[in-house]
Structures are given as structure tokens and as C-alpha cells.
Amino acid sequence: MNIKISPEGVPDYNAIANVNYQAFLNWHPNNQYVSEPILVDLLRHSSFFDPELSLVAKLKDQIVGHALFTPFKFIVLGEEQMGVILGPIAVTPGYQRLGIGRQLIEEGHKRAKSKGYTFSLLCGHETYYPRFGYKTEMFSVSGSRVKIVNNDFSHEGFSERPVNDGDIPWIRKAWNDQHNQDSLALSPGQSISDWCNHKAKCCSTVISFQDKILGYARYAKTTPLIVKEILVLDENMELTLQYLGKGQIEFSVPLAANTLTKVLDPYRFQVLDNRNALEPFMIKVIENESLIDRYCTQVEAGSIQPGIIVFPSIFDLDDGVID
């Protein structure tokens, strides 16, 4: 079978959407939605998107597969590094299990390496991707479970509003101050589309108290609450978490337990370690003897804990929270 792998072009957009729709039609909970075609489109708007890393597999003139490698800036062992996120990857039913996915992945790795990216990160099937060199249990997407012990709290004086362009400089500074020494972190980006809301069940917001900005938060409006990102000064953390809890006594926060215990009053909060590097959370080292190679080696040896990855708001579209 003569499969040709090449970068996408604008005329391919519809066919790519169709491939992703068909491949993921029965994958989501209750089959209520297929988000991957829209996710691909949103990722095309990201700061570092490279069409040469959005690959299509063609059989004659028909697109039968697609793999998207999106570049992002990361912190690795306290230093900035560029890597790619693989996903979504889709092959049309009827052409699966014929090696098309392998061709797409291997070509993507080759192209990413030629462009200077040192690693590829994904959440995927733990028995499939290790065939291509992906190491499992390399990061966590959770950090802590926070319990509010004393729930006597008034929400009077608090307000929320959407993020605007003028907020981006201080949000970016807050992110850098909080994560610049992390073992592994994913930088969302420089523009408002990297920090705004993309799903009705989620909220990206600037929180204020008595007209003073406390910080930025992104959360899923679920029970229990899922705090996806929180950027506040240490002295504002207690007040912000109590407000976000909105009467709930336990919720998740994507920060390490030892970070939170330093700034939260133990008489008001109980912090439980919820870091969990599951098998689907994988990294492939593209460039040997790089920082990410050292990171993976140290995680495997148990000398450091897996880093906590907070995926940007674009990925909220595909987080399994049903509208």
C-alpha cells in the first residue's frame, strides 16, 4: 500500500476534520460529542503552531490519517526548552492496523528533531506509544487535594471577570515566578487566546476582592471543583482558594502539596498529595543527552518526582467534562 506522508495544506482541512471525526466517533463518554476536529483547529491558532508538523497520510488522493505535533515552550529542570505535544492522531476506520499511524508518528519525530525540538509529550494508550520510544509515568496532571477544614467564609466583596489583553503581562510574570524552577512545566503562551475560556463548563477568570486583583484562575465548574490553573501571590492563596471552593470542602489544585503547605494555614486547610504519574502520561526523548533526557532518567531512578503538567485552556475542549 503506497502511503504518502506530507504536511497539511489549507485544502486538506475538511478531510482532516472528517478523519478525526470518524476515528473518535465512539471514543468519548456516552458518544455525546467529538471534539478532536475542533481541537485541531484551535491548536492551529496556538503561538508556535507549525503546519509542517501537522501531517497527513494520503492513499492516492484520499487522506486516510492525520497526526498533529504542536510545539510548546516548557520548563525542564528549571530551564526553558521547546518540545511538541502529539495529539490528536487519527486513522480512518477501515485503514487502521495497517501501519499508517506508525508512519505518521515516525515522520513527525523526524521532522520535530530536525527543527530542534528535544522531546514529544502525550497522553495516550500505554501499550501502543512505547513502541515508538515513549516512556510511561513521566508526569502528573494532578497535584494536591485541598480540604477546607473551617468553612466559615463569606463571599462578599469578591468578583470575577474574563481575561483581557491588559492582563497578559502580569499573568505571564506570575506564571514564570511560580514555575521557572519546576522540574517540568508547560508554558501556555503569550497571547489572550492561550489564557481565555474555550468551553462552557470551564471558566478562565481574573478574581478580585474589594476591587483589588488577587490573581488568575481556570477551573471546571463541576462538583467536586477542579482547579486547572491558579496564579496568585502566596499571601492571596488562602483567600482565593476559599472563594473558589464556594462551599465545597474538598477539591483539586494543580500545585505540589509541599508548595501549598508552605502558604496555607493548617487550621483552615488540609493538603493531601495527589500527584499521580499514570502510565498514559508519556514522554519520548527526541534528542539524547538533553535536559529532558536527564529529567526522564531522574524520574525513572526516583531521584525526583514527576513534574505536574497543566495543559493550556485549548485542551479544556477535550477534557471529558460534559456540557
Q: What is the pLDDT of residues 124-167, one digit of tens each?
A: 999 999 999 999 999 999 999 999 887 777 888 999 999 999 99
Q: What is the mean pLDDT of residues 235-253?
A: 88
Beta strands in the chain, from DSSP E residues, in sequence order? 3-7, 54-59, 62-76, 79-91, 119-123, 139-140, 144-148, 158-162, 184-187, 202-209, 212-220, 226-232, 250-253, 269-273, 281-285, 307-308
Q: What is the mean pLDDT of residues 75-85?
A: 97
SS3 221: coil
Of how many residues is the chain composed? Answer: 323
Q: 56: which strand partners?
A: 6, 66
- Distance CA(100)–CA(239), nearest Å, equals 52
Query: Which grid cell is 50?
Result: 507549525
Query: Which grid cell is 250?
Result: 474538598
**Intrachain domains 3-140+276-318 and 144-273 with the same fold:** yes
Q: How far is CA 298 from CA 5, 179, 301, in A?
A: 35, 19, 5
CATH number of 3-140+276-318: 3.40.630.30
The domain locations on the chain are 3-140+276-318, 144-273
Q: What is the dihedral of CA 100, 105, 110, 113, to 10 degrees?
A: 170
Which has more confidence, 197 or 208? 208
- Distance CA(121)–CA(70), nearest Å, equals 10
CATH class of 144-273: alpha beta
pTM (two decimals): 0.93
In this prediction, residue 33 carries a pLDDT of: 72
Query: Which grid cell is 16?
Result: 482532516
Q: What is the pLDDT of residues 82-104, one digit of tens each?
A: 999 999 999 999 999 999 999 99
Query: Which grid cell is 140?
Result: 502528573
Identity at 67, one-letter amino acid code? A
By the 10 Å C-beta count (0-12 exposed, 13-18 middle, 19+ buried), 270 is classed as middle
In this prediction, residue 248 carries a pLDDT of: 74
In this prediction, residue 323 carries a pLDDT of: 41
* Residue pair 43/71 in contact by the 8 Å Cβ criterion: no
